[in-house]
Chain A
């Protein structure tokens, strides 16, 4: 909203105050100023001219020659304005002047005719962007030749106030409210609004307020013998610079008074008020009204209309109807100045997409006393701008507010409390200052010597804004100046702060994965991307996902239930486009992870409710917790005041349990492969590449679990995982389109609970990638891992004996799992009564026939003695015999 310093100065003495410098203080005290504009300066050389002759231009159809009387001389200039006519008063710019708009007036020829000067439009003078015709100075009394700044009101500083910073201040939506703040800031008196106006007798129309809940006050008056004409030039320029287009004196009067008081007004052509009757009522379902903008609107019973005896003539508080607007020949009109229910106006304006100057103000909850003031200001203005007009009725005051005015808001507090909340002393902020400040802001203050205060809130602050002592703290604080308040450290007993386990866990895991595993951290959207999912055929079969009712884009309609899809799309991108400045190449790898929440619409198992609660209460510290208070809701309910209680009642009934929002760790590792035949992206990865990316993903999960201080998870191959239905938990989803049905493992706790999985990408998904690549995905349920008991290392003494390492190499079938071989060796050696501490895989080499030549290392040690050569030889023998049983069929 624009604020005019010149306008404010009508009510406050601003002498000696530099409005530009004052802006900073205004921002810190009242509302944020987005922009500051100087208006109408440097026009001293422009003078008032009377057009005393108009002649055609000899060489141009669209130009004319205007002879202008400048008081002491006459001159003839070329003019292109279509509205030029004899007898007009216009601004004349002499030769040699540079206007604020940048125009330089030169003594030159226009199409062969000399033109020593120019007649100016508003835009030429930099007063607005209006190029349509000359600035008409009709009604200006100064003699011809008078410098323009002495003939009309020029020179203003405009503040553009951030509307967001005054949504809670209905009083600041009018210039007078701004003036009140400025007066309080300057400590100077505020002149009252002059509301004296001669009224007539009797009712203007019959008024019935049939929807008193939505219309606390409806003020009406009738004016006759008005004449439609342009408003005075000063008023037109004022409206323009505050962003309102002038129309004619009657419409402009409604707008000017709205800008001044903040109360929107509406004027009906009295001839169009059928049956001489006005009804304020809810619209009938399906009722239609064509508004001033020419749009036919279909209404609902939640909308409020102003109707006459036959039908709706205005959409209350939003826009007038086309059927009743002021016409060029309007001479008698009915004025409406009303207070409407803020929520009703806001809902109608939102539903119909009609955010007007009027609805913007009404939805801030205006003071129901304001229409009385606004109506009188309007009548005054019309009488001044339309000589001969008379008010032919009394001011009719309808609506429930007259009989039952709103209860006065009284705040009882003490000056000591106000000072405590600000953090100032009585020396800094004496009682007298507090009382004076509040009085300047129009609060009624009763003050006793012991500092007790009873504060009556003025109506224009009482609708939604000021209700409690804290609101008074703000009033005093901003006018005292927050910058003057000394800082003070809060007094809280020192105790070690609690940190949510999930936050501790995230730090540990990301450190391990980034620093130790060399992975890159991702933070991705909480929405699934349907486009990527469709293109890569990523889905969780029929597992439900949470939907968004008002999606922002058609691809973002559901919340993710797994981290893998978004991670896969990001990995695909870098495998396709390459890293940094390097083009993509064979062997390019990507290792990423994300730590984040996923969303499961309904808990998959009954006991998940407890897990949900556990997840939600991760903020609950076991020691500092006040157990009596957790989950208890009666307590706060009785503390609420009545209207807050009513407001939340509906919500409580609909208090739904939150969906399960488990924390997950998602990992995607990939490697770009060489292109297939003829550049095909469809490549079957070599086994070694598959083993590598799978190994990376598995390694990341192990590192994460270790970083969390939990015991290692068992890696259970797919074939050993029970059917999906009998899984101990259903998350992360086991059945997905991207899981390779064989090349995957479940991560299982010692209690047999599946808490994660690692899988190679299903070939159907992999083949859809834009680059030939092999990828592995891991997903781990962090809530479940955090619930495990910590792994506490045992402090065994180091072995006294030196052990012996034996490497053993054997050929096994391609489909044999090396772990099965290790298990068999371990069993056989133990059965033979030989000491084996550990057996582990070392490396392997692929054989020409497809079999594998694998090398294991056996670590042999006895606790009480050194092993002799014979024992080692026997271990080797048993091991070799065992490995031989795994030899590929048909091998020698």
Chain B
């Protein structure tokens, strides 16, 4: 069978464009070759369209041949593109004109210094730590990956305890866990410090919990712990009233309600009087006049024992303050996910 005239055209086009592609030494050149060949008005595109002029008997063969041509050109362009990109990266990597010994100030000279921003969580954490420090509390820092013992057992939460369900925990593949509360530092502090002592320790805590505007799997807490010979509910009330007044920068009235946390006995939910209505009741406080702020209580004797102290000799109080919540209250942040979301447009407000 004689080859049709269009077969030669296609073969010529193939040789021409493959050579043109291979000949490109620059990405810009390759891009123009790509347009000339495969663009809307490109040469190969025109060949493909010419099927209308081909005799009906040849249409099928012509269509297959031009499709193969187009595919070959596309593949060649893509391959050359990858080669040139790799070469460009390699050229950059080989370029030794960068001078890493120029003093930074000189490299930056003439550029205006931007305005920096403190993260809202750290602002709150440092303010609170400063208050506690000024009142004689040690300010400590404890690890985020914790043992089951420090996070649960030492806090009087053995494995059968229902409270373990409330603490939805991230378990790690080495059998450890991400601390579910800063309370995991209690036994560390008890083991480290000679009583009497008082300490706060803040940081990230983790809960296996789906996120929404008011729930996060990672948030910040601050734990407070005080150990002394005699510690009563009256002491706890006094400390909380004083500390919270300093932190919230106003005279606060507090009240205690029964609350259940295995590591304190008695355990409380501490409410503060609503600032908006002064206790008369408004929508912010669900018309009760009080806002739930933090859990607290007298340290459970089991926790003291786990920390190596004899509960007949030593007593204590402890509380956990939600720093994320405090930051949200202070800066009117409506969505907790903004805090760790990393969006600099949000952070640049602080």
Same assembly = yes
Instruction: Choose one: B156, B194, B208; the contact of A625 (CB below 8 Å).
Output: B194
**Binary interface encoding of chain B residues 319-350 relative to chain A, with 1 for a CB under 8 A from any of its CBs, else 0:** 00000000000000000000110111101100
Residues from chain A with a CB closer than 8 A to the CB of B146 are 658
In angstroms, Cα B259 to Cα A169, docked, is 11
In angstroms, Cα B233 to Cα A510, docked, is 38
B272 proximal to A (CB < 8 A): no
- A677 in contact with B28 given A24-B288, A525-B340, A760-B98 (CB within 8 Å): yes
Interface residues of B in 203-252 (CB under 8 A from A): 204, 206, 208-211, 217-218, 226, 228-235, 237-239, 241-242
Closest Cβ–Cβ distance, residue A597 to chain B (whole Å): 6
A275 proximal to B (CB < 8 A): no
In angstroms, Cα B11 to Cα A341, docked, is 84
Residues from chain B with a CB closer than 8 A to the CB of A631 are 191
**Binary interface encoding of chain B residues 153-166 relative to chain A, with 1 for a CB under 8 A from any of its CBs, else 0:** 11010111011011
Contact, CB under 8 Å: B139 / A497? yes
In angstroms, Cα B260 to Cα A855, docked, is 71
In the complex, the chain B residue whose C-beta lies closest to that of A505 is B141
In angstroms, Cα B90 to Cα A318, docked, is 66
Contact, CB under 8 Å: A699 / B104? yes
In angstroms, Cα B265 to Cα A477, docked, is 11
- A482 in contact with B233 given A519-B116, A626-B193 (CB within 8 Å): yes
Contact, CB under 8 Å: B260 / A168? yes
Contact, CB under 8 Å: B104 / A525? no
In angstroms, Cα B174 to Cα A186, docked, is 54
Q: Which of B16-24, B53-61, B64-72, B297-305 is the contact stretch?
A: B297-305
Main secondary structure of the interface of A (DSSP, over half): mixed
Residues from chain A with a CB closer than 8 A to the CB of B307 are 636
In the complex, the chain A residue whose C-beta lies closest to that of B88 is A684
Contact, CB under 8 Å: B260 / A647? no
A549 proximal to B (CB < 8 A): yes
In angstroms, Cα B235 to Cα A499, docked, is 23
**Binary interface encoding of chain B residues 105-134 relative to chain A, with 1 for a CB under 8 A from any of its CBs, else 0:** 111110101111111011000100100110
Contact, CB under 8 Å: B265 / A546? no
Residues from chain A with a CB closer than 8 A to the CB of B141 are 500, 502-503, 618-619
B136 proximal to A (CB < 8 A): yes
In angstroms, Cα B290 to Cα A27, docked, is 12
Residues from chain B with a CB closer than 8 A to the CB of A363 are 162
A521 proximal to B (CB < 8 A): yes
A517 proximal to B (CB < 8 A): yes
- A477 in contact with B233 given A632-B308, A760-B98, A841-B103 (CB within 8 Å): yes
Residues from chain A with a CB closer than 8 A to the CB of B181 are none
Instruction: Choose one: A493, A502, A699, A817; the contact of B101 (CB below 8 Å).
Output: A817
Contact, CB under 8 Å: A548 / B170? yes
Residues from chain B with a CB closer than 8 A to the CB of A513 are 116
Contact, CB under 8 Å: A27 / B143? no
B77 proximal to A (CB < 8 A): no
A609 proximal to B (CB < 8 A): no
Instruction: Choose one: A164, A496, A577, A617; the contact of B192 (CB below 8 Å).
Output: A617
In angstroms, Cα B187 to Cα A629, docked, is 12
- A422 in contact with B234 given A497-B138, A677-B27, A682-B85 (CB within 8 Å): yes
Contact, CB under 8 Å: A814 / B97? yes
Count chain B residues whose beta carbon lies closer than 8 angstroms to a beta carbon of A.
Answer: 136
In angstroms, Cα B217 to Cα A447, docked, is 50
Contact, CB under 8 Å: B118 / A619? no
Contact, CB under 8 Å: A570 / B238? no
A579 proximal to B (CB < 8 A): yes
Contact, CB under 8 Å: B175 / A510? no
B93 proximal to A (CB < 8 A): yes
B144 proximal to A (CB < 8 A): yes
- A684 in contact with B105 given A524-B340, A630-B191, A678-B31 (CB within 8 Å): no
A831 proximal to B (CB < 8 A): no
Residues from chain B with a CB closer than 8 A to the CB of A30 are 258
Residues from chain B with a CB closer than 8 A to the CB of A420 are 230, 232
Contact, CB under 8 Å: A503 / B105? no
Interface residues of A in 332-389 (CB under 8 A from B): 342-343, 346, 350, 363-364
Residues from chain B with a CB closer than 8 A to the CB of A342 are 160, 162
B145 proximal to A (CB < 8 A): yes
Closest Cβ–Cβ distance, residue A390 to chain B (whole Å): 40
In angstroms, Cα B165 to Cα A546, docked, is 24
Q: Which of A57-65, A467-475, A794-802, A868-876 is the contact stretch?
A: A467-475
In angstroms, Cα B315 to Cα A491, docked, is 12
Main secondary structure of the interface of B (DSSP, over half): mixed
Interface residues of A in 561-598 (CB under 8 A from B): 566-567, 569-571, 573-574, 577, 579-580, 589-592, 597
Contact, CB under 8 Å: B237 / A841? no
Contact, CB under 8 Å: B194 / A624? yes
Q: Which of A3-11, A277-285, A742-750 is the contact stretch?
A: A742-750
In the complex, the chain A residue whose C-beta lies closest to that of B89 is A763
B188 proximal to A (CB < 8 A): yes
Residues from chain A with a CB closer than 8 A to the CB of B118 are 510, 514, 521
Contact, CB under 8 Å: B237 / A487? yes
B306 proximal to A (CB < 8 A): yes
A80 proximal to B (CB < 8 A): no
- A630 in contact with B192 given A552-B208, A639-B310, A717-B101 (CB within 8 Å): yes
Residues from chain B with a CB closer than 8 A to the CB of A168 are 162, 260, 262
A819 proximal to B (CB < 8 A): yes
Interface residues of B in 77-101 (CB under 8 A from A): 85, 88-89, 92-93, 95-101
Instruction: Choose one: A503, A591, A661; the contact of B114 (CB below 8 Å).
Output: A591
Residues from chain B with a CB closer than 8 A to the CB of A618 are 140-141
Contact, CB under 8 Å: A520 / B117? yes
In angstroms, Cα B241 to Cα A601, docked, is 42
Contact, CB under 8 Å: B149 / A648? yes
Instruction: Choose one: B115, B140, B208, B342; the contact of A524 (CB below 8 Å).
Output: B342
A141 proximal to B (CB < 8 A): no
Residues from chain A with a CB closer than 8 A to the CB of B74 are none
Instruction: Choose one: B298, B305, B348; the contact of A640 (CB below 8 Å).
Output: B305
- A499 in contact with B139 given A422-B234, A656-B147 (CB within 8 Å): yes
Residues from chain B with a CB closer than 8 A to the CB of A169 are 260
Residues from chain A with a CB closer than 8 A to the CB of B257 are 27-29, 32, 478, 482
Residues from chain A with a CB closer than 8 A to the CB of B159 are 647, 650
Residues from chain B with a CB closer than 8 A to the CB of A421 are 231-233, 298, 315
Residues from chain A with a CB closer than 8 A to the CB of B288 are 24, 27
Contact, CB under 8 Å: B145 / A548? no
Contact, CB under 8 Å: A717 / B237? no
Instruction: Choose one: A167, A633, A636; the contact of B163 (CB below 8 Å).
Output: A167
In angstroms, Cα B339 to Cα A477, docked, is 38
**Which residues of B are at the interface with A, using a C-beta cutoff of 8 A?**
27-28, 31, 85, 88-89, 92-93, 95-109, 111, 113-119, 121-122, 126, 129, 132-133, 136-149, 153-154, 156, 158-160, 162-163, 165-166, 170-176, 178, 185, 188-189, 191-194, 196-199, 201, 204, 206, 208-211, 217-218, 226, 228-235, 237-239, 241-242, 255-260, 262, 265-269, 288, 298, 300-302, 305-311, 315, 339-340, 342-345, 347-348
Taking A490-B235, A699-B105 as given, write out 4 further A-B residue pairs in contact, using a Cβ cutoff of 8 Å, ordered by the A residue number.
Answer: A526-B144, A639-B308, A815-B97, A818-B101
24 contacts between A and B (CB under 8 A): A28-B256, A28-B257, A342-B160, A468-B301, A478-B258, A486-B234, A492-B226, A520-B116, A547-B173, A550-B170, A580-B348, A620-B192, A624-B193, A630-B192, A639-B305, A648-B149, A717-B101, A742-B96, A745-B100, A760-B98, A763-B88, A767-B85, A841-B101, A843-B106
Listed from nearest, the 5 A-B pairs whose CB atoms lie closest are A423-B234, A695-B107, A474-B266, A487-B238, A423-B232
